[in-house]
Structure 1
Amino acid sequence: MQQQHQHHNQQHQQQQQQQHQQQQQQQQHQQQQQQQYQQQQQQQQHQQQQQQHQQQQQQEQHQQQQQQHQQQQQQEQHQQQQQPQQQQRLQPDIR
C-alpha cells in the first residue's frame, strides 16, 4: 500500500499510458525504476496476493504507474498474478 500513496501525483498520466503501456514502457523509465523497487519489496515479502489485488484497486484509483509495470513483470515471469499465490502458499507450508 506504500506505493499507492507515493505515486498519487503522477498516476493520471499513466492512466492513459496504461492502455498502451507496452509501447509506453520505454518512455516511462522513471516509473520503471520506482516500480521495480516497490515490486522487489513485495517479492521479498511474498505478498504477491496483495500485488494482484492492488492491480484491481489501482485501476479504480488510477494508479496506472504501478499497474503498467506489474503487467510488464507478469509478461516476463509468466503471469505473476497466479505464480505469487502459489509461492505464498508453498513457503508458509514449508516453514
Structure 2
Amino acid sequence: MQQQLLQRQQQQHQQQQRQQQQQQQQQQQQQQQQQQSRQLQQEQQQQQQQQQKQQQQKQQKPQQQQQQQQQQQQQQQQHRQQQQQKLQRQQQQQQQQKHRQQQE
C-alpha cells in the first residue's frame, strides 16, 4: 500500500512539472511575438525615412501627396499588427487557464 501511494505522489509531481514547462513555452512565444512586431515597426520607420528623403530631393507637389498617403497606410498596418498581438495574447491566456484547471 505504501509503495502504491508513493508512486502516485511521484506521478502527480511529474505532471505538475510538465504543465509548468508548457506555461514557460507560452511565455517565450509571447516574447517572440513582441520582438517580431517591434522589428516590423522599425522596418516601416526606415521605409518612411527613405520616402521623406525622396520627397526632399524631388520636391514636387503630386509626389508629396502620394507619399503622405503611403505613410498613412503604413501607420494603419502598424495598428493592425498591434491588434493581432492583443488577440494572440488573449488566446494564450485562455490556454494557460485551461492548463491550470487540469492541474486542479
TM-score, normalized by the shorter chain, greater than 0.5: no
Select the structure of larger CA radius of gyration. 2
TM-score, length-scaled by structure 1: 0.29
